[in-house]
């Protein structure tokens, strides 16, 4: 969720445009239970770091009026193609032009902004009673196990948007909750879980849409994929998945 100063690594932050179509096809959607809980019909929503619009489309399907902000033009083009208005900018450079929203969302994107600057700004972007919702999808393979996959390749990083280290995950959520509370928000958290099974090739395609893997040199990507495929064999991959939400209400 929060690698230190990850937002400063613009090479990684803007690496997704090269794989925009695969990202849109493969990245998991957010739990419908979670999205139902945080979005209401008629909400004015700002979706920050919208990527290809995965969360934006889920919000729109619930009757919200969605504006997306996305710094990568190739990703933003897919958002625009779905009929959702999008403004191409980083959150730090984006001009709100006096607009306020009922809901501001960050789907798998808050680690790409500077939290120390973003949180105070968010207080001015939501209407009284409005919410800022940070969402992450956590994907933890259970067959084969993370340990088996990790042992197969030194480049393997658990596809877990929070952290492969539960202690760090708990700390990061607690720290973000504290920062939002200090900025005058009431903070709650929720996690909605499911289990899914994916063919090995699809799961391997998916993990190479994460920047820690997609930005590896080509020969290391190929070696990593081969090593992981050997561990998986002819079996499908079973994934314990969940959507984690931090909900900050003004």
Which tens digit of pLDDT belongs to each residue from 194-242? 999 999 999 999 999 998 889 899 999 999 999 999 999 999 999 999 9
* pLDDT tens digits, one per residue of 77-119: 999 999 999 999 999 999 999 999 999 999 999 988 999 999 9
Residue 12 — very low, low, confident or very high, per pLDDT cuts 50/70/90?
low
pTM above 0.85, yes or no: yes
Which of 48 and 9 is assigned the larger pLDDT?
48
Tens-place pLDDT, residues 108-155: 999 889 999 999 999 999 999 999 999 999 999 999 998 999 999 988
Mean pLDDT of 23-52: 97
Which region among 17-31, 168-182, 183-197 has the lowest average model confidence (pLDDT)? 168-182
Torsion sign (Cα): 138, 41, 178, 113? positive
pLDDT at residue 248 is higher than 80: yes
Alpha-carbon distance of 71 to 196, in angstroms, equals 31
Confidence of residue 15 (pLDDT cuts 50, 70, 90): confident
Over range 30-49, report the average pLDDT: 97
Level-2 CATH architecture, domain 6-137+160-195+241-249: 3-Layer(aba) Sandwich (3.40)
Nearest Cα residue to 105 out of 71, 66, 77:
66
């Amino acid at each position: 969720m929060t690698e230190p100063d990850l937002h400063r690594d613009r090479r990684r932050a803007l690496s997704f445009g090269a794989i925009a179509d695969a990202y849109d096809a493969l990245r998991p959607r957010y739990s419908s239970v979670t999205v139902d809980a945080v979005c209401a019909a008629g909400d004015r929503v700002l979706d920050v770091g919208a990527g290809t619009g995965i969360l934006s489309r889920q919000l729109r399907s619930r009757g919200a009026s969605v504006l997306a902000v996305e710094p990568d033009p190739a990703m933003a083009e897919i958002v625009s193609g779905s009929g959702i208005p999008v403004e191409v900018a980083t959150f730090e450079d984006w001009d709100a032009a006096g607009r306020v929203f009922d809901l501001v969302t960050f789907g798998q994107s808050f680690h790409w902004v500077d939290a120390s600057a973003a949180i105070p700004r968010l207080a001015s972007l939501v209407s009284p009673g409005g919410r800022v919702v940070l969402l992450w999808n956590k994907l933890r393979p259970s067959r084969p196990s993370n340990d088996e996959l990790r042992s197969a390749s030194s480049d393997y990083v658990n596809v877990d948007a929070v952290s492969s280290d539960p202690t760090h995950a708990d700390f990061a959520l607690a720290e973000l909750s504290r920062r939002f509370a200090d900025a005058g928000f009431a903070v709650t958290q929720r996690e909605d879980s499911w289990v899914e099974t994916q063919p090995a090739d699809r799961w391997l395609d998916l993990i190479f849409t994460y920047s820690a893997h997609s930005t590896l040199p080509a020969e290391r990507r190929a070696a990593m994929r081969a090593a992981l495929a050997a561990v998986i064999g002819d079996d499908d991959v079973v994934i314990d998945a969940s959507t984690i939400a931090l909900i900050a209400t003004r």
